[in-house]
Amino acid sequence: MSINRINAHSAVNIYNSNKNINKVEKANKVETRDRIEISALGKSIKDYLLESSIDNTKKVAEIKEKIQNGTYKIDSKLTAKSILEAIKENKK
């Protein structure tokens, strides 16, 4: 069996040549960026949701007022129906 010595000079040369190859590969890389465009439909949905949130604040204020006056009535059947619908949607 023959074992050849590797001198330090040849190891440094191999390291430097690999280092130069990596620099060339990095220089040849083209940078790409992701881009997202929102369609007109998406923008109109966003606008609708922003408008509907204003309506929700009015509803919340009305409910708070009814609670303070003691005139707020809860429809238990409607509440149960809404809960069941939410559960069904979460299972999908």
The structure tokens 């330090």 sit at 8
pTM: 0.33
State the pLDDT at residue 59. 87
Walk along the chain (92 residues) and give the pLDDT tens digit of each residue.
Answer: 566 666 666 766 777 777 766 666 665 666 778 888 989 999 999 888 887 666 778 888 999 999 999 999 999 999 999 999 999 988 86
Q: Which helix (H) or strand (E) holds 48?
A: helix 40-69
Pick the closest to residue 14 from 6, 24, 3 (CA basis): 6
Q: Which residues contact 66 (CB under 8 A, 6 or more apart)?
A: 72
Q: Is the Cβ–Cβ distance between 66 and 72 less than 8 Å?
A: yes
State the pLDDT at residue 5. 64
| Structural tokens at position 2 | 């023959």
